[in-house]
Structures are given as C-alpha cells and as structure tokens.
Structure 1
C-alpha cells in the first residue's frame, strides 16, 4: 500500500498538473461590426477584447467593453453608447461557447461551429458561429463572422431613425491566442 502511494505521488509530481496548462489568452482581440443603410454605413472596431480558449474543455469565452468601440464619427460613438447600447447600464458584452468537434491535435486550419450564448444589452441569446481555427506552433488564431438581429437584444430605435439603422448587424472577430501565463 505504501509503495502504491509513493508511486502515485511520484507520478503526480512529474505530471505537470496545472489548471492553466491548456488555456490560451488573447488580450487584444478584435471585434468589428458593420451596418449597411441607405443614408450612411455604420462601422466600428474594438481592439481591446479579451478572450480565453480552453483546449481541454474545447470552450471559449469572450468579454469586451462596449465603450471601446471606435467609430469614424464622434456622433456615431455617442449615439451607439447613449441611445442604443446604453453603455452606462450595460457596459460589457460577452460570449461563452463550446467548439463542436474541435481536434486540438490537428495543425493548420479547421472550420468549426461554436455553439454558445452571447450577451449584448443585457439580453442573452444562443448562437451557432462558424469559425476558422488555425493551430500554428501551439498558438491559435480564431476568426469568423456572424449576424445578429437588433430586435433580438431589445435595442430600441426611434421610428424616425429606423430607416437609418439596419435590422441585421454583421459582426467579425479575430483572436490571436498565446499560452496563458499569470
């Protein structure tokens, strides 16, 4: 019995057991959105998005500050944060999902679906997002795009402006992950 316990302790100490061993982080991820309208296209980029990729659990989590979106015009920034997203009340958006059929041993690119929950404007919806995952030398790049319906997140658009705001918004993202280090 003592030999078994000793063997277990030796194996455990050499196993490099660490909860963050297979976690990767993107500290400066990129999310952008685009809205086509007949009057003026609306586009914004956020380069301060944080994401964690857990290759053991095949899970991904994303968090971003809504005020970090950069617009071409200051007035768009103001309307986005004050009138539509209400950033003082809902300062963050987030996503948590599971990557379906993700092969962590495969090098190069693979196209996968991430099923998860996205929270915008305090409303959470389930989504399936088609992504490209590039595994290169133990670092991952995850990118893709998807559409969201403005009405799904209870974002109120005044009737007078409804023709100036698209009902569907296109979102693009790209995260470059490196091994997680504290």
Structure 2
C-alpha cells in the first residue's frame, strides 16, 4: 500500500521540496474510498459505485488528491458497465479521473468534530480538466478523518457524448457522491 500511495503522490503532482519537509508533513490516506454516481431520467435510473478510490490529504498544507480508475465502477448489470466504459467514458483512452486541490479554509485536525468544507482545485474526467470548488463535510474522530461530498457533473463540461438513441435514458447532469474514510499514512 505504501508503494501504491507513493506512486499516487507522484502521478497527482504532490511533490514536496525536501525530505525534511516530508518528515514534518502529516498525511492521511485511503485506497478504498467510495465514489458513486446516479443518473436519473423518466426512462431509466443508472447507479454505479467505485470502492477503490485513492485519496491523500496533507493536514499540514490542506492539499488533497483523489484518483480513481474508471473501470473500477460497478454497475447493476454488465451491459451498463460495458456501455459506460466503451461508449461514454472511453476508459481505454481516459482510464482515470482525478481531483487535485486544497482545502479553502483551515481545519483544526487536533480536535474531534465535523466541519463544513470546500476544496478548490482541478477536476479531470474524460481527459477534460475543469477548475472546481467542491463542498462537503469533514469529520475528525481520533486518528480517522471522514470526507463526504455530493456534487454534480455536467456531461457537456467533460465532452462526454451520449448517442441520440439513448439520450432520454441518461441524465445530462450526473450526481456524484464521495465518501472517504482516511487513516494516518506514514511513508
């Protein structure tokens, strides 16, 4: 897991200036975060969940990175999953979705509690990056940190095309929910 998260830091561009800085940095991480989405139309509801989302949070700087493989989304049936990966997300060409950003306000990670939060950064899906500010809650409970967020993703913003024949079955704005349980991470 340590090797995977170290590589994840490099991929997402979270580089630090020196080993001394790394030693002073306190990070929390998970490789089993849950990201789900819901598409609702009068013709059909589509739900999928990815339970392998990787998240890294530096509580000293407020920097965070989220990485998920698009093929890790599980659907109610194989045909939906195939269409998602091949026709819409083009997962072979755009295998990952990421968010790289920073908490907009400081959080006192030494105190248990639930905090309203926002994080601003770059959200990349289907090869298209957008500046986003995402809202949610962050809960500190002992040595665990929970992050919960719900936000919308417009397909047009990420150049995700839906064929006209199934246009009425897929919402043009998708609701995304993120639920991440982070634990201390030591390099």
TM-score band w.r.t. shorter chain: 0.7 to 0.9
- Post-superposition Cα deviations, 1:12-44, rounded to whole Å, max 9, x if no partner, equal xxxx97436411111100000000011110000
Checking the alignment, whether the CA contact within 8 Å between 2:41 and 2:171 is kept in structure 1 is yes
Q: Which residue of 1 aligns with 2:95?
A: 91
Equivalents in 2 of 1:97, 1:123: separation in Å? Answer: 16
Give 5+ residue unaligned stretches, structure 1.
1-15
- 1:117 Cα deviation after fit: 1.0
Q: How many corresponding residue pairs?
A: 167
| 1:163 matched to 2:168 | yes
Give 5+ residue unaligned stretches, structure 2.
1-19
- Say which of 115, 118, 121 aligns to 1:116: 121
- 1:106 Cα deviation after fit: 3.8
- The two structures have a TM-score, normalised by structure 1, of 0.87
| 1:79 matched to 2:76 | no
- The two structures have a TM-score, normalised by structure 2, of 0.85
Equivalents in 2 of 1:17, 1:130: separation in Å? Answer: 29
- 1:107 Cα deviation after fit: 2.1
Q: Which has the larger radius of gyration?
A: 1
SS in 2 for 1:166: coil
